[in-house]
A and B are shown apart, each in its own frame.
Chain A
Amino acid sequence: MAKSIKMKIIYPRWEKLKGQTTFNLPPHGPVVFAAALPERVDVSFTDENVEPVDFEESCDLVAISMMLSTQVKRGWAIAAEFRKRGKKVIFGGISTMLHAEETMEHADAVFLGEAEGRMEELISDWENGELKKVYNYMGQLPPIELVGPARRDLYKKELYNHKGVQMVDLFHASRGCRFNCYPCAVAYLGGRQFRPRPFDKVVEELATIENNRLFIVDNSLAQDKEWEMQLFKEMIPLKKKWISHTIEDDPKILDLAAQAGAWYVYQAIFDTSQYIKDRIKRYHDYGIGVEGTILLGLDNQSEDDMRRLIDFLLEIDLDLAEFTILTPFPHTKAFDDMMRRGRIIDYNWDNYNAGQVVYQPAQVTPEKLQELYDYAWSSFYREESQELKMTKLFMRVMKREMEDGTWKPRDRQLIDRSFGRKVKRTIGNN
């Protein structure tokens, strides 16, 4: 079928957190959305984090895909530029759903919900000059079988490369979450029911991904033991190496995960217990690295509690640590609680980056919490920088790739480039 509509999909940039190493990963939402479009739509994609938006590029329709609250204001500004030029702009993605009412003021249409099976309607409406202000599919989740392979062909791959090393590709094997965590809006966005994709579709998509290193972005793999074990069994022959969120703490599952290529996982560190120490050790026993995720500023944390937690991290042999400040994102219980008590002190979404205090903490001042957050980063990476710890994790994955014959050398043509920008090489091949 001849392509007849040219759509430009844009992923707005956001300010990265100060003092942290920035790795730009290829965004998943826009290419999953693109896969749901009718065939007659010809798509181009711009990730503004790695290249500027060309407002003069010829196109019929602009789609702005947003994941983070820190993207919404920039998304609105981009929309204004295109609308000035007479283009229709539609918005979609996670943070469009979280900030829908405000986003409507900057859009010709907002799409709320999951895109699979819904895009023919939107495109036909546009073709007929009947674009609706809202396409509301919240709570009407499409059959999970409709989720097709993401359009990774849209990426300009060289822009996700750091000195010849390709960044991980993102992938998802399920949607929804049966948990109801305090700071999280996933249950509102993707439903409270865990919805795994069929294994044949998962394997089919994984096999098409050229990149051997992946980030499985599912909210948590620890949703259903049988499913998790079967997923890992299916993945073993593919020899991928991957990062994910939490894996079930069960020896059989950890063993299968390791065989399936688990490289490292994100694990919440919420207290200083022996349980946490043992849990980290169990991952390591199976050769799986751990990036601790530490949330600061919960109501039950005093200054001493937070300092103890930060110091504890140095005792438990974490491979990496990521600190965040509790942030009351809309549609979370944290938001409800803070809003009811009048504790939200900042509604500037640019500051909702989990690195800035936007609410009145219960036991310390906002300034003290900010100071503790800065202390956490500097204290954990004092002896060994984030880049060096990351390099060590890379060495481990390279060793495993060499053992199973999947290792590929870095791209020498990009050795002096980092995310598309020319960089000065320092020592050897670093």
Chain B
Amino acid sequence: MKVQKKHFDEIFDFKGKWDVPSKCGLRILERNGKSVVVVTEIYQHNPGSSVTYAGGLLLEQICRTKGLDPENVIYIECNPDTGSRLSFYAEEYYRVDFSIENGKFVNPKYTQLSDDEIKELLYNED
């Protein structure tokens, strides 16, 4: 169940829940003046918290490391296609919107992206 490299540009090391050393795939795209941050779950190659469980902790660390303004970020979680025949490992993308409380990203709201939305956000460079 290997995640293909086409899903990310780099492996990002982060501290998950309870500072557990964790990894995810990361791709950052510039679209219409916004930074589109795509974090990809890499399953058994991630020793710690999943991207979903880490949630706002991960967004915070990406913004700090990459010098991004969180207010200007469109944050997307990707469950990549792993070639598994099990339906729950099918490819899915979610846009995640957080509230900001005391400088922390909390209360994530998830919206699954349609194929058109994925194309528009990830592949349309205009």
Contacts and interface: CB of A to CB of B under 8 A. Distances in A.
Interface of A: 100, 112, 134, 136, 138-139, 178-180, 182, 187-188, 191-193, 298-300, 330-331, 333-337, 339-342
Nearest to B52: A336
Contacts of A299: 87-88
A33 B58 CA distance: 32
16 contacts: A112-B18, A136-B18, A136-B19, A138-B20, A139-B21, A139-B48, A180-B43, A180-B44, A182-B89, A188-B20, A192-B44, A193-B47, A299-B87, A299-B88, A335-B53, A336-B50
A300 to B, nearest CB: 4
B123 to A, nearest CB: 23
B4 interface: no
Contacts of B87: 299-300
A333 B89 CA distance: 9
A339 B43 CA distance: 18
Centre residue among B20, B44, B47, B49 by max chain A CB count within 10 A: B20
A300 B18 contact: no
A139 B47 contact: yes
Interface in B85-106: 86-89, 94
Interface of B: 1, 16-21, 43-44, 46-50, 52-53, 77, 79, 86-89, 94, 110, 112
Given A138-B48, A188-B20, 13 more contacts: A138-B19, A179-B44, A180-B1, A180-B44, A299-B87, A330-B53, A333-B50, A336-B50, A336-B53, A340-B77, A340-B110, A341-B110, A341-B112
A195 to B, nearest CB: 13
B18 A100 contact: yes
B19 A182 contact: no
Contacts of B112: 340-341
B122 to A, nearest CB: 18
A300 B84 CA distance: 13
B40 to A, nearest CB: 13
B88 to A, nearest CB: 6
Given A139-B20, A300-B86, A341-B110, A331 B53 contact: yes
A320 B43 CA distance: 32
Contacts of B110: 340-342
A298 B88 contact: yes
Nearest to A139: B20
A39 to B, nearest CB: 29
Contacts of A112: 18
B54 to A, nearest CB: 10
Contact of A340 (B16, B47, B88, B94): B94
**What are the 3 tightest A-B residue pairs by CB atom distance, in nearest-first order?**
A336-B52, A139-B20, A138-B18
A320 to B, nearest CB: 26
Contacts of A191: 47
Contacts of B19: 136, 138-139
Contacts of B44: 178-180, 187, 192
A180 B43 CA distance: 7
